[in-house]
Amino acid sequence: MPTRSKIIYTFTDEAPALATYSLLPIVEAFAASADIAVETSDISLAGRILANFADHLDADKRVEDSLAALAELTMQPDANIVKLPNISASVPQLKAAIAELQALGYNVPNYPEDPQTDAEKEIRARYGKVLGSAVNPVLREGNSDRRAPAAVKAYARKHPHSMGKWSKASQSHADYMRGGDFFSSEKSITMEKAGDVRLEFVGKDGQVQVKKQLSLLEGEVLDGMFMSCKKLRDFFEDTLQDCKETGVMWSLHVKATMMKISHPIVFGHAVSVYYKDVFDKYGKLFDELGVNPNNGISSVYDKIKSLPASQQEEILHDIHEVYSHRPEMAMVDSVKGITNLHIPSDVIVDASMPAMIRNSGQMWGKDGKQKDTKAVMPESTYARIYQEMINFCKTNGAFDPVTMGSVPNVGLMAQQAEEYGSHDKTFEMTADGTMRVVLADGTVLMQHEVEKGDIWRACQTKDAPIRDWVKLAVTRARQSNTPAIFWLDPERAHDRELQKKVEKYLKEHDLSGLDISIMGYNEAIRVSMERMIRGRDTISVTGNVLRDYLTDLFPIMELGTSAKMLSIVPLMAGGGMYETGAGGSAPKHVQQLIEENHLRWDSLGEFLALAVSLEETGIKTNNAKAKLLGKTLDAATGKLLDNNKSPSRKTGELDNRGSHFYLAMYWAQELAAQTEDLELQARFAPLAKTLTENEATIVAELNAAQGKPVDIGGYYRSNPELTSKVMRPSQTFNNALAALR
Amino acid sequence: MPTRSKIIYTFTDEAPALATYSLLPIVEAFAASADIAVETSDISLAGRILANFADHLDADKRVEDSLAALAELTMQPDANIVKLPNISASVPQLKAAIAELQALGYNVPNYPEDPQTDAEKEIRARYGKVLGSAVNPVLREGNSDRRAPAAVKAYARKHPHSMGKWSKASQSHADYMRGGDFFSSEKSITMEKAGDVRLEFVGKDGQVQVKKQLSLLEGEVLDGMFMSCKKLRDFFEDTLQDCKETGVMWSLHVKATMMKISHPIVFGHAVSVYYKDVFDKYGKLFDELGVNPNNGISSVYDKIKSLPASQQEEILHDIHEVYSHRPEMAMVDSVKGITNLHIPSDVIVDASMPAMIRNSGQMWGKDGKQKDTKAVMPESTYARIYQEMINFCKTNGAFDPVTMGSVPNVGLMAQQAEEYGSHDKTFEMTADGTMRVVLADGTVLMQHEVEKGDIWRACQTKDAPIRDWVKLAVTRARQSNTPAIFWLDPERAHDRELQKKVEKYLKEHDLSGLDISIMGYNEAIRVSMERMIRGRDTISVTGNVLRDYLTDLFPIMELGTSAKMLSIVPLMAGGGMYETGAGGSAPKHVQQLIEENHLRWDSLGEFLALAVSLEETGIKTNNAKAKLLGKTLDAATGKLLDNNKSPSRKTGELDNRGSHFYLAMYWAQELAAQTEDLELQARFAPLAKTLTENEATIVAELNAAQGKPVDIGGYYRSNPELTSKVMRPSQTFNNALAALR
């Protein structure tokens, strides 16, 4: 017998956490048959708060720090983690969670908005570790392997999602800076040996201000680059004039959520250029009021509320006037009058651009109609790939989900590689001068002449993750017998450094029979698309940002969504993490459950991740039963998709729980039907029989529960017993599962 | 002393022939100093008529068959031919030439329009050899090497021609068939051994009709392909509907002059689809009148002239009605109301598409304004390169002549390779059935199911020219130290056959240090353009049609014209032919000379060709003086361009003769200034001195001659003495040249 192995199933927040109450008992029951334990690890927002304030809690209320334990586990070769989506908490969410925990008797401190004392500052610092994207950077001790699972691809081919027709005469296009942006100023070096560097600003007066110190490893790649504020503003003005002349709608696409420091500033310039007349006229007043264009034009609406009504009206009138001489702007919500410049987080380039391309290259105008659009994406580094795809669609028409091939991704991500969004190395210049990167011995590694308002940033990429990434690319190319393209632009300083390493590390592998190449972004996406429309697959091997962009772009064309992608993080230490559900943790789903007892969350991502998790366990521990469980789970998922047993959005119809029942039934049927392992066959035949015979009863019991409000005893930390009762309402199903044990 | 070598300078027609009277004495005088004889060879239309009817002429009027002699010469390793543009005679031109010759006392027979007797048929057959493109196929016993000479490129960089700005929101595009065209049906085989094949049609009744017999050589590539009439007509209708919906102007781009059989038919379908209502309504009447849409809508205007006025008016009214529901059409001449569908030879794709792309992607509407255009080019084989360039310009803006690199061409052309235009292997199907290519032993090499109206064609490419073409590409890559790309599309049957040969023949050469690759058309043009905008050169190594298209497309972007290209035909037997003046033989120039004694013909092409001709003579005969003459001629040409001493279009200003004077002066100055060859220095110093001192006098003499009508005693065969007198009006210049001898 193989040693008893363990799958860690993360317990997170909101809809995925609710679904876990229903799905986990099924998974545990099936996995036990291969002697695999499925354990949960609580990395929910509430759990993280409690773990960080254990010293404030009564002994019986304390919880272990699961995230820290999980981080440890990622360093172990036998790690096998199924990672569900969790809340990346904003301050309002954090405060709500604190209040809920306090009400439940957990003595956690309030969040100090404006900490004064050392104690308050200490508390604030602890909460800082809980805020935002606190989980992924800690757990992602590996690179990324994302692909469309065969069952999902087959489903999309059979039931193709809608694709807007493209006109050859479309005026839509991507527009980006042709100089003055990060791309054109990027410099990059590779550390010959480990060492400390200072990022420092030298003023015109010679004064040196150290912005940041970094300890770099041998072989680590460090980049420096900046975006010119002047050129950025000129660029925005040019795009607006161009739209005015051509009648094409104007739309801004940035990623203020990921590029936490740089993109809100870029967004703010867009706001203050578009509404230039208003910002010129009321500049002083706005400063006094604390208007911040980086928060969108909504900041003006918010802050002027304190003014007399007549003054408010005058400002609103002037804002309205702007629209008469500026081009039409794309709307986030034309009914409510919410434009792309309202708040910075509404339009996120990696989601908005695929949506536009899928929608005939059009976005929505203020009249609610689709229109050709200038997609303004100042930073040219990645924007060019969208222009390439737009040109491709103009020439070849919309992609066809029925015939198109796939573009899986192998992404460099481990140990925070290429984290351009990292706020700790991005700075908005407060004066003219020089930004430079200096070694401890005073050697200047690179420098840029900058002006006030310019955005300068550095970026680190360690050597070990690059080496692992190359290995993963070769492994995936071999396993899937698919050509792989490293997307490295010969005109980018950073990519030239990476290319040297890629060429070096490729030599460590047997490449015989593989088709592995290195191309600039335009060429890479073009070749991938040419292959794709001919039904051929091509692995994109990319850096971190392209990973993020492409794993939305191609899946949205191929599958209609990126949520159905298989997302694996083969950990560098040898273990594996299987991420699920790119769609977030879905607060609206919780609301529907509480009000109508219908959970529309689709656990497809969990099914897919579990299948790989089981298969990997089988391979690594030489456990044939585990491999068979994985294989049959995949088949069951295919059947589920094929028979359309995914959750409906409508209360009263099949929901998350019903889809779990069907998964269990199909899975049991697959195991009962196979003859590879007679023990498993014998074990699951009775369950298959029971579930098949009781299908109507169970579905009726599950659906009967719907339609009424339910109480689960909390939002951020619901009551386990109440929630379990709500999520497992079919006694017939529960009994059948219990009989398996 | 080297042996006396010989340069053959062709004597042709119209403007180039007139210019020869002025230029040749200069060239003879200079060449003599290197012991080189410059001999003329009369391949003018008149000369060809006389040569073909020597038996009809009095003994003293007979001329030798220079073209036949020249064809012989191309097979000799020491051939050195400067080939000026000649008339490709239409029937009206032929008849005018005959009349002129008869008036001059040459007893040539009349052209029998409708030959009845055997004698008439024999005469008609002889004239057939004189008609059309009778010279190039005979002389082109080599492949093509076309490039922008350094002096011309330098001039364009210093004095950039105008380039229309491109809008990123441009709606212009190329539209082509996505199936049913030659591209999608192409089949191709390589003959394992020499053999005869039949091109035959098998009717539905099994009846076999042999359309053509061909004797093929070992290794010869034979293609068969067809265009579906139905799909072509559907395509035209779709493009018209699309333009109607999008408001983009409709424009047809074919090459009815080169693709002599297929493209007039394609053009005819465009006419009868656009004017469908009219052709439907008057179909029977038009048939009776002999209206042929392949001759354009003008055919309707012509043929209805025999009808009563009221009936004519009705038809014209109905034609007018068509415009109200069809999209706007691009105009050849908006003032005169001449559309792109008027006659088939007005819009020639290889000239019209570069013009459109240079002109912001726009063509002219009926109101005389520029508009975004759908460029309709049914055959997708080559049309895609224009779409690629259009997308490129939308993304990157118009090309910049100041900074852009060059795309020289090495074209497969020898022995009529890839002559898709060849009328003897193109057939319009008169019934449904099968077209097949059958070996003498009955083996079917390929076949196509065809329908009535489909256009089927075969195409031959011999092996020796392909091998020579590969060699020429390697030679040019080596000589110019420039990357070379073979444009071979992996999706084209013909190109796959060629690729095998290219890969085989490349092995015959030392490729060390060279960058030679093979790419599909889209990739090839894209890579070339990406390099071009970065100032880098890339040799395009292409088949015959792409040679024709690209040597207009890139030169028009780079130089503003293709007439300034150096066009060399390195003959397979070892000799060289140097072609000049892609701009034709310019009948309008002759008219201006006769009326105002101003010849605006620019002999730049002759200057460039002569320099290479001299250089090659020098290399091949080890004649250092000849090499020096070539080098100094190039320098003189550069100086002439730089000092803007090219002919003006305006009477009274410097014309062709004046530019020849400056060339002579600069050339003499260069020779006088060099110290490589003291003998030549000594010989040319006096001439340089004389010309320099008398510059004002000579220019005054040359210009004084202008402004009055002159008599040169004929158009197709002008009187040599009269013409020489007209073309050499400066006694001072003539005396100076004479003194050199």
A70-126: pLDDT as tens digits: 999 999 999 999 999 998 887 888 999 999 999 999 999 999 988 999 999 999 999
In the beta sheet, which residues pair with residue A288?
Answer: none
Residue A206 backbone zone (phi > 0: left; psi -120 to 50: alpha; other: beta): left
Q: How far is A246 from chain B (nearest CA, A)?
A: 7
Going by C-alpha positions, the residue among B451, B425, B417, B416 that lies closest to residue B212 is B425
Distance CA A311, CA A281 (A): 13
Q: Is there a contact between A169 and B246 if contact means CB atoms under 8 Å apart? A: yes
Distance CA A142, CA A73 (A): 12
Residue A2 has a pLDDT of 44
Are B466 and B439 within 8 A, CB to CB? Answer: no
Are B625 and B33 within 8 A, CB to CB? Answer: yes
Going by C-alpha positions, the residue among A592, A601, A697 that lies closest to residue A657 is A601
Beta-carbon contacts of residue A181 (< 8 Å; ≥ 6 apart): A227, A228, A231, A232, A378, A379, A380, A381
Q: Is there a contact between A170 and B171 if contact means CB atoms under 8 Å apart? A: yes
| Res. A665: pLDDT tops 80 | yes
Per the annotation, does B139 bind a ligand?
Answer: yes
| Res. A421: pLDDT tops 70 | no
Q: How far is A251 from chain B (nearest CA, A)?
A: 14
Spacing of C-alpha A193 from chain mean position: 34
| Res. B212: pLDDT tops 90 | yes
Beta-carbon contacts of residue A636 (< 8 Å; ≥ 6 apart): A607, A663, A666, A667, A669, A670
Q: What are phi and psi of A13, to 5 degrees?
A: -130, 165
| Res. B124: pLDDT tops 80 | yes
Distance CA A17, CA B181 (A): 57
Residue A65 has a pLDDT of 93
The answer to whether A660 contacts chain B (CB < 8 Å) is no
Distance CA A358, CA A161 (A): 10
CA atoms within 13 A on the CB side of A256: 21
Q: Tell me, what DSSP letter sits at residue A161?
A: P
Chain B CB contacts of A251 below 8 Å: none
Distance CA B379, CA B254 (A): 9
Going by C-alpha positions, the residue among B469, B434, B439 that lies closest to residue B451 is B434
Q: How far is B171 from chain A (nearest CA, A)?
A: 4
Q: Tell me, what DSSP letter sits at residue B648?
A: P
Give per-residue burial for B636-672: e unless 16+ CB within 10 Å, then b: bbbbbbeeebbbbeebeebbbbbbbbbbbbbbbbbbb
Spacing of C-alpha A136 from chain mean position: 10
Residue A400: how many other CB atoms lie within 10 Å = 15
Judged by DSSP in three states, A486 sits in: strand
Chain A CB contacts of B530 below 8 Å: 522
The answer to whether A328 contacts chain B (CB < 8 Å) is no
Out of B167, B247, B248, name the one closest to residue A246 (CB): B167
Per the annotation, does A714 bind a ligand?
Answer: no
Tokens representing A418 are 């290429």
E strands, A444-500, are 444-450, 455-461, 484-487
Nearest CA in chain A to B392: A391
Residue B102 has a pLDDT of 96
The answer to whether A387 contacts chain B (CB < 8 Å) is yes
Are A552 and A351 within 8 A, CB to CB? Answer: yes
Q: Radius of gyration (Cα) for chain A, nearest Å?
A: 27
Nearest CA in chain A to B389: A391
Q: What is the mean pLDDT of residues B355-359?
A: 97
Q: Is there a contact between B246 and A171 if contact means CB atoms under 8 Å apart? A: no
Distance CA A213, CA A676 (A): 59
The answer to whether A529 contacts chain B (CB < 8 Å) is no
Q: What are phi and psi of A293, to 5 degrees?
A: -60, -25
Q: Is there a contact between A168 and B395 if contact means CB atoms under 8 Å apart? A: no
Give the model's confidence band at B227: pLDDT under 50 very low, under 70 low, under 90 confident, else very high.
Answer: very high
Give per-residue burial for A674-683: e unless 16+ CB within 10 Å, then b: beebeebbeb
Residue B581: how many other CB atoms lie within 10 Å = 26
Domain boundary assignment for chain B: 5-141+576-740, 173-182+228-382+389-396
The answer to whether B371 contacts chain A (CB < 8 Å) is no
Which helix (H) or strand (E) element contains residue B324? helix B309-325
Share of chain B above pLDDT 70, in %: 98
Tokens representing A584 are 């977030």
CA atoms within 13 A on the CB side of A397: 10
Give the model's confidence band at B1: pLDDT under 50 very low, under 70 low, under 90 confident, else very high.
Answer: very low
| Res. B145: pLDDT tops 60 | yes
Tokens representing B282 are 């008057």
| Res. B3: pLDDT tops 70 | no
Q: What is the mean pLDDT of residues B533-562?
A: 95
Which residue type is seen at A429?
Answer: M
Tokens representing B687 are 């001439």
| Res. B287: pLDDT tops 50 | yes
The answer to which of A30-34, A690-694, B111-115 has the lowest mean pLDDT is B111-115
| Res. B437: pLDDT tops 90 | yes
Look-up of token digits 């001059």? B104
Out of B173, B395, B530, name the one closest to residue A169 (CB): B173
Please, what is the angle between helix A276-289 and helix A262-274, to 10°? 120
Q: What is the mean pLDDT of residues A206-214?
A: 96
Q: Is there a contact between A168 and B242 if contact means CB atoms under 8 Å apart? A: yes
Nearest CA in chain B to A170: B171
pLDDT tens digit sequence for A468-519: 999 999 999 999 999 999 999 999 999 999 999 999 999 999 999 999 999 9
Q: Radius of gyration (Cα) for chain B, nearest Å?
A: 27
Going by C-alpha positions, the residue among B36, B9, B25 that lies closest to residue B627 is B36
The answer to whether A170 contacts chain B (CB < 8 Å) is yes
Q: How far is B273 from chain A (nearest CA, A)?
A: 21
Going by C-alpha positions, the residue among B515, B522, B487 that lies closest to residue B502 is B487
The answer to whether B443 contacts chain A (CB < 8 Å) is no
**Averaged pLDDT of chain B:** 94
Tokens representing A70 are 């999980």
pLDDT tens digit sequence for A344-382: 878 888 889 999 999 999 999 999 999 999 999 999 999
Q: What is the mean pLDDT of residues B170-178?
A: 98
Are B618 and B624 within 8 A, CB to CB? Answer: yes
- Inter-CA distances, A663 with A22, A123, A217, A648, Å: 12, 45, 47, 15
Tokens representing A461 are 């990429």
The answer to whether B167 contacts chain A (CB < 8 Å) is yes
CA atoms within 13 A on the CB side of B601: 36
Out of B171, B175, B526, name the one closest to residue A171 (CB): B171
Out of B168, B243, B523, name the one closest to residue A173 (CB): B168
Residue B444: how many other CB atoms lie within 10 Å = 11
Strands B187-190 and B221-227: antiparallel
Going by C-alpha positions, the residue among B498, B496, B507 that lies closest to residue B474 is B507
Distance CA B38, CA B5 (A): 9
Residue B583 has a pLDDT of 63
Distance CA A298, CA A313 (A): 15
Per the annotation, does A136 bind a ligand?
Answer: yes
The answer to whether A496 contacts chain B (CB < 8 Å) is no
pLDDT tens digit sequence for A317-347: 999 999 999 999 999 888 888 999 998 878 8
Residue A280, classified by CB atoms within 10 Å of its CB into exposed (0-12), middle (13-18) or buried (19+), is exposed
Tokens representing B148 are 């922008």
Going by C-alpha positions, the residue among B708, B597, B712 that lies closest to residue B655 is B597
Q: Is there a contact between A372 and B242 if contact means CB atoms under 8 Å apart? A: no
pLDDT tens digit sequence for B380-416: 999 999 999 999 999 999 999 999 999 999 999 999 8
Judged by DSSP in three states, B300 sits in: helix
The answer to whether B168 contacts chain A (CB < 8 Å) is yes
Q: What is the mean pLDDT of residues B35-47?
A: 96
Q: Testing the interface with A: which of B235, B384, B389, B391 to mutate, by most A Cβ within 10 A?
A: B391
| Res. B426: pLDDT tops 70 | yes
- Residues A650/A655/A659/A662 CA torsion (nearest 10 deg): -90
Distance CA A143, CA B383 (A): 43
**Averaged pLDDT of chain A:** 94
Chain B CB contacts of A245 below 8 Å: 167
| Res. B559: pLDDT tops 70 | yes
The answer to whether B536 contacts chain A (CB < 8 Å) is no
Tokens representing B304 are 């209805």
Chain A CB contacts of B247 below 8 Å: 169
| Res. A3: pLDDT tops 70 | no
Tokens representing A618 are 């089988």
pLDDT tens digit sequence for A521-554: 999 999 999 999 999 999 999 999 999 999 999 9
Going by C-alpha positions, the residue among B401, B348, B365 that lies closest to residue B561 is B401
Nearest CA in chain B to A176: B395
Q: How far is A523 from chain B (nearest CA, A)?
A: 9
The answer to whether B362 contacts chain A (CB < 8 Å) is no
Residue B582 has a pLDDT of 62
The answer to whether A526 contacts chain B (CB < 8 Å) is yes
Distance CA B511, CA B514 (A): 5
